[in-house]
A and B are shown apart, each in its own frame.
Chain A
Amino acid sequence: MALEIYAYQCKKCGQLHYPYRMVCKKCGKNKHNEFDPVPLPKKGKLVTFTELYTLPGDFAVATLWLGIVQLENGVAVTGQLRLPKPKIGMNVIGQVEPVRKSEFGQNLGMVFYPAK
């Protein structure tokens, strides 16, 4: 089964949120964790990006490409990029992969590749 990361949809008004929050940002009526998890779509457009040269100590790479991607359903996420030539507005496709390893284990997150 493919790994998923979820957005959270308000059961009252349908607003999507990522990441999870306690109260709906649109209707404000959702007070009892009434959100449906909805898998994040994988296709999106690159909003902006950077190549980071000064990394936190637990990354064993020289630089890290990071970006914000607007997904098909309008939800935006931050993620790591594996794009040979990143450009604002380009189509990308994401997948869930390990993004950070530390002595306590590894974190899974969104990693984006060029859309074919």
Chain B
Amino acid sequence: MPHSQHSPGQPPAGMQVSSGAQGVEIVQPSSIVTRKLGPGAVLPMRLDPRVLKRMERAIEKMADSYEKSLKTEIRQMLLSHDEWQAGKQEAIHAIYALAHDIRGLAGTFSRPVTGRISNALCQYLEALPHLDAADGAVVRLHVDAMFAAAMDAQEPSEEVAKATLAGLERLVGRTLEHCRPACDPARG
């Protein structure tokens, strides 16, 4: 592996050392910004609107392919849910992995509602030390809500999204309250 440490007794590249009055040494460390961006670069950098447009176009170019991939992932979640309910325990890990991917990407590709429902599902699964039968319905309703949000060309309105998320949140609360006394942290 290459070394970048400076040679003993020598200042690192770019570091200036000079002797000031009364023995005071002035050290000018190398500037990372200058080294990486070139002379004259200043921070914070200003985003050129033309560059921003290019970035937005780059996302648009990927949007069709992401739409297909998102729909495939949600269908896979439905299949994995069926497998999980049929007793294949590891299928829930596949559901979580898919939900985690979707919560990270859907918002970038104009699917923020799908992303938020997916995030709610991830947080539910992250909060539980183990899953039981009652969780099957909760997980399924989240996946169904994602399916409904993602399958149309346009996502539901903000009002519908808020109502859906609030409904799912109430369902999660009731499930944890009535079906999961073992989730009491004091009982491990």
Partners in one complex: no
**Residues of A that sit less than 8 Å from B by CB:** none
**Residues of B that sit less than 8 Å from A by CB:** none
